[in-house]
Amino acid sequence: MENEDKKSLILVVVNKGSTDLVMNAARKAGSKGGTITVARGTGNPEVAKFYGLAIQPEKELVFIVVDAKIKDDVMKHIYDEAGLDTQGQGIIISLPILDAVGFEPLEEYDEEKM
């Protein structure tokens, strides 16, 4: 990947049913879309008691690929809308994408591919 084309993967883990909060916030910050999958958490009951949280085992994961230059803004928007202090109780991490195959600039897409 060229230096100016650096991408980051933002991974968000939220309570089931909270992915709209994540995607709406991400879009406000410039993200184009994401991939959602279902997951099941195996939280430690002692952590729930210590922090006073009700940990739900049903989770959803949102994978969002963004230009590295907007990563921090996207993460902040997501945290404000779906972070730990919200109904989503989300946690957010990011990873640099060092190599990737299959990404095309949006201008190369036509209506038939979408």
Residues 6+ apart with CB under 8 A from 35: 62, 63, 64
CATH number of the domain within which 78 lies: 3.30.70.120
Residue type, 104: E
- Does residue 29 or residue 112 have the better pLDDT? 29
pLDDT over threshold 80, residue 22: yes
The residue segments making up the domain with residue 41 are 3-95
| Total domain count, the chain | 1
Please state the pTM of the whole predicted model: 0.78
Q: Tell whether 113 is covered by a domain.
A: no
Query: pLDDT tens-digit profile of 52-90?
Result: 655 667 899 999 999 999 999 999 999 999 998 999 999
- The rounded distance, in Å, linking the Cα atoms of 4 and 105 is 13
Q: Tell whether 111 is covered by a domain.
A: no
pLDDT at residue 100 in the model: 83
Q: Tell whether 65 is covered by a domain.
A: yes
pLDDT over threshold 50, residue 114: no
